Every structure is written in C-alpha cells, then in structure tokens.
Amino acid sequence: MKKIFIPLFCILAPALVSCVSMDITPKAQGNSESWYSTELELEMAANRLYTIGYWDSPYQDPETWSDNFTYRDINWHRDSGAPLNGNLDGNTYITYNIWQQDYKLIAQANLILTYSGRAKANGVAEDIINQYRAEAYFARACKYAELIAYFGDVPYVDKPLTIDEAEAMERMPKDQLIPLVYSDFDHAIDTLPVSYTGTQRFTKGAAMAMKARFALYMEDWETVVEATEACMGLDIYSLNADFGDIFLMTTKQIPEKIFVIPRLATSGVKVPQWFVQNGVPRNAGGYGSDTPSWDLFASFLCTDGKPIDESDLFDPKNPFDNRDPRLAETIVPFGSLHCGWYFEPDNKTATAADGTTKSNQDCRLNQQYTSYNGLMWKKGIDDSWLVGTSWNQDAENDLIIMRYADILLMNAEAKIQLGTASQDVFDQTINAVRARAYGVTAADKSMYPAVTYSSDKTANMRALQTERRMETAKESLRYLDVIRWGLYKKAFNGYNYLLPDNTALENHINTNNSNDPDSDGWFWGDHVPEIDEDGIADFSGLLSAGYARTGAQRIFPDHQVLFPIPTYDRTLMPNLSQNEGY
C-alpha cells in the first residue's frame, strides 16, 4: 500500500509553502499577508480546530490496540504493524498518523496565536479575539499532551517556522514540555466560557478536564486533584442516570459530556464507515467482526462485587447473569434483542423482533466470518445504526473525549496515589460511578456492592483499575491505562482467545440444549477463568478443556511503551533522535 507522509514541515510559515496567488483568499487557509484580520476570518480559522480528523481517525482507535478488543483471529488495526504484533517502526501507519495529525492541528493553532493581533488592529473586539486564542491554546495543549503520552520527548513548536528552522528541530525533553502544556491549558481555562448556548465549542471545564488527564499520564497527582476538583466545582456536570444511553446516537448534549466533537451526518461528519459496518451483527446486515475480548468479558465483577473466579454467583453457562450492569450495556447479552434480532450465537436459527426466523448468521456453525469469540459490542450501538436491514452509513454518535465519570475516577486515583483517599472520597467518586450503574445513589449501599476504602494502597489501586476498566471500555482509554499502570507485560502479551472449532462448538451447543441440567455445554461449560490480582484473566483451563482456541499471539516488547519517531520526519530533520529499541 502506498503511504503518504505529511511531515513536521506542515508547521512552516504559510508564505513559504503557499502555492496560491496572493490575490486569492481561499476558505481553508487565507494568505499570510491579510488573513486573521476580521472576526469572520478568525472564526473560520478557529473552526478548523474542530475538524474531527484531528481528534479521530477511521484507522486509529487505541481501544483496538488493547486487551479489550479482538478482530477475528488477528491483531487488527488495518495495518500489519499494530502495537500488539510487536513490530512497530517509524513507517507504521498509526505511528505517523498520530504524529502528522497532531502537528497539523498544532500548526493551525500557532497560526491563530501568531496572527490574531491583526484583527485587533482592524477593530475586532478584544473578547472575541481572546476567545479564539483560548481555543487555539486548548487545541495545542491537547495535541502536545497526546504526542508526549505516545512519543515522550518531541519537538516543540509555538510559531510558524522557516525551512532552516524546521530542519534544525530537535526533540525537547518531556520535563521541559510539561510546564509549557500546562501553561497552554491554563490560558484556555482563564478565558474559555463555562458553557455555550447551542453550538458546542471548547469550554473551561473541558480545559480543566484535559489538563487533569495529561497530569494523570504524567503521574502529577497534585495537578490531577487540582484540575479535577476545579472541574467538579463548576457545578454544571453530573452523571447521567442511565449509563447505556450516554453513548447512543440519539443522545446529544447531556451534563455528563464535558468534551465531545459532535457528529452530524448532514455535514458529512459521521462515525467511520468501517466501524459501523463491523460493529453491526451479521443478521442485521453488518460484518459482526469488531468484538470485545474474552479478557474484557471476564473482567466485569459479579453483583456481590467479587471477580468471577471468587463469586458464588457466577455461572459459566450463563455468564451474563449476576454481573455488574455495565456488562450488559457494553457487550450484547446472549438471548437479548439487539439491532432487530435476538443475539443467540449458540442457536442455528435466528429470530427477529417480529418473530421472523432465518439461518442464524451470528452463529459460527452457519457463518465462519461472524464473531470469532461469540461476543458483540453493544456500547453505543442500537437500532439507530441500521437502515432497513443493513448497516447505517450515516451513524452520528458524538465522539466523546471526556465525560464526568472519568473526572471522578481520575480524582480517586490521584488521591489514592497521594495517600489522601478515604471512604468519603470513595463514596464521592468510585462508588458514585458504580452506584449509577445499578440505578441508585452512592449512599444506597445495600443496593450495590460498594467499594470499601482500605489502608492498603495496592488494594485501593486494584479496585480503581477494575472500576475504570468496567466503566470506560470501548472509550479508547485502556491502552494508555495499561501502559502507565505497568501491566502491559501481562495484559499485552499472550493470545486472543476464541470459540473452539466447529466440531467442538457444535458438541457444546448440542449438550447445552439437552435436558440434562448438569450438562457441560455452552458457553464455558463448568470452567471459570482465573482472574489474577491485577484483573487479568487466565483462559488456559478453558483451552485445555476444549472450550477455547487461540487466535493471534499478542507480542508487546518493552520498548513499545513509547512509539517510534516517524522515519520520514527524521530523514528531513536529521537532529530528531529516535526512541530506544527502534
């Protein structure tokens, strides 16, 4: 496949790279001599900061790089160099795509910050200019935060450069970059409004929240507490009553959403077609290929608050029963109605909502390319993803980058690390999040398995990690969480586990459908995966008993905790050093 590289040279001064007549001012980018002089020009320039391609890519979803995800029997990311294949290098698509898109948005922000003074000289009100400058500061901070999280030391650019300046660029040490990113976030926090009426734009709360996330990744716990509590103190955000509704296409502006990039199909801003097509079950016209992993499935606690291998409530033949309610909102329960059909991967016949039946295309005994592990994503997917009996090419779920539940969990994690957590802190944060899943308040402890504060920091962190995984699955957070928690050696090495071959699968299904209540059949028979102290599941027992087979091997060498610097930029800018191991 031919690869197109857009190097760090996208930060060059526009006059040096322009190929348009100086008499023409195109909509996308005005000429450097006159643009940014009016309120309209500033608004048009600032609107580019909201281009969804800078915040989301159809081929870049960190969730797919984690142990929460499987694609058939390979480590899938539309590129042979996916992180779990262990072969990242400077030419891998995901490597240069993050780098490219982040620096392109930084370049746009730098242009606004460099040239917006022209508007003041032209009579534009100072508060209008400051608003768009604050949006530029916010966007630049977010993108540097992302670059540092993935690459570590990176070049720092805060203005358009000449060719000679760009060629001489070096990577700035992370310790020097962190205060610069904080400063940009603080500029945004000082100026951005708390909220808008109608059009969604960057806000004060979004800047506080994203500063907290960056501080979390940098293990700056004091700043995490400061930023999360400032966000909480705005008193405009709250947990949505229904967990599952948050992510649906029909749910737009709600108090739990702090930072989103709205999608609108009529404007051509849609969920990437590939994810819709692969997320819809085959009975409903999709491919049913993007699936949650068995690792994620096994990680959800039972309703007594215990892992599946410790709880008397867990039944491996009915593995959705007596589980944390978020499981059924994240992964489609067996036998439930989903996208117009009852999801029964253990039945050769499919039944629709209206009673219509047909050969079950979500059963591997009929269709070899349906879900290889018998699971399907539910989070964010419902009938709105369908058009007739086929997948919807106009799905417009908001891209949720930050929500209030994450603020609460970040606050709890930072206080655990600082040693300032308490039962009151847990009740206001972790237990508030968990209780919402059960439809009650944190104070109703008889109605849900509340988390009890412990004097053991390790136990508290493990409770937090479990909660965060259950709450934020499929929200592109797991990959960096595992990296920063130091769990990648266990979580990212091993195998994807899949249903057994058809002969064994048919035997399990037929046994399960027999009249013997003690039959050892679907789903895992009588076998329960073991869950270790870090919440990582061991499926070797199921493999030995014939209830599973291995798919792709996950390989994640230590040096991949940082991505490689893209080769093309290093060719153009010889002073850019490479991360170790590449």
Q: What is the structure's pLDDT at 72?
A: 86
SS (H, E, C) 350-368: EEECCCCEEECCCCCCCCC
Residue type (1 letter), 149:
A
- Provide the token pair at 56: 């989301």
Q: What is the structure's pLDDT at 387?
A: 73
For residue 329, give the nearest of 153, 489, 470 by alpha carbon.
470
Strands (E), 282-344: 290-292, 337-338, 341-342
pLDDT digits (tens, 9 = 90+) for 362-419: 999 999 999 999 999 999 999 999 876 566 778 999 999 999 999 999 999 999 999 9
Question: Can you tell me the distance from the alpha carbon of 10 to that of 113, in angstroms, rounded to the nearest whole number?
Answer: 16
Judge whether residue 519 has pLDDT over 70: no
Q: What is the structure's pLDDT at 199?
A: 80
If you average pLDDT over every residue of the chain, what do you get?
Answer: 91
When pLDDT is cut at 50, 70 and 90, the band that residue 247 belongs to is very high
Burial of 275 (0-12, 13-18, 19+ CB in 10 A): buried
Buried b (16+ CB within 10 A) or exposed e, 29-55: bbbbeebbbbeebbebbbebbbebebb
Judge whether residue 360 has pLDDT over 70: yes
Strands 357-359 and 349-351: antiparallel
**Residue owning tokens 């390989």:** 555
CB 280 within 8 A of CB 287: yes
When pLDDT is cut at 50, 70 and 90, the band that residue 11 belongs to is low
**Residue owning tokens 């769990």:** 487
pLDDT digits (tens, 9 = 90+) for 29-88: 555 567 999 999 999 999 999 999 999 876 678 998 999 999 888 776 555 567 999 989
CB 209 within 8 A of CB 399: no
Q: What is the structure's pLDDT at 9?
A: 47
Question: Can you tell me the distance from the alpha carbon of 75 to that of 81, in angstroms, rounded to the nearest whole number?
Answer: 9
Q: What is the structure's pLDDT at 394?
A: 87
For residue 282, give the nearest of 199, 341, 210, 206 by alpha carbon.
341
When pLDDT is cut at 50, 70 and 90, the band that residue 510 belongs to is confident
Q: What is the structure's pLDDT at 508?
A: 86
pLDDT digits (tens, 9 = 90+) for 293-319: 999 999 999 999 999 999 999 999 999
Q: What is the structure's pLDDT at 4?
A: 32
| Secondary-structure breakdown of the chain: helix, strand, coil percentages, each rounded to the nearest 5 | 45, 10, 45
Judge whether residue 203 has pLDDT over 70: yes
The H-or-E segment that residue 498 falls in is strand 494-498
Q: What is the structure's pLDDT at 410?
A: 99
Q: What is the structure's pLDDT at 21?
A: 29
CB 431 within 8 A of CB 442: yes
When pLDDT is cut at 50, 70 and 90, the band that residue 267 belongs to is confident
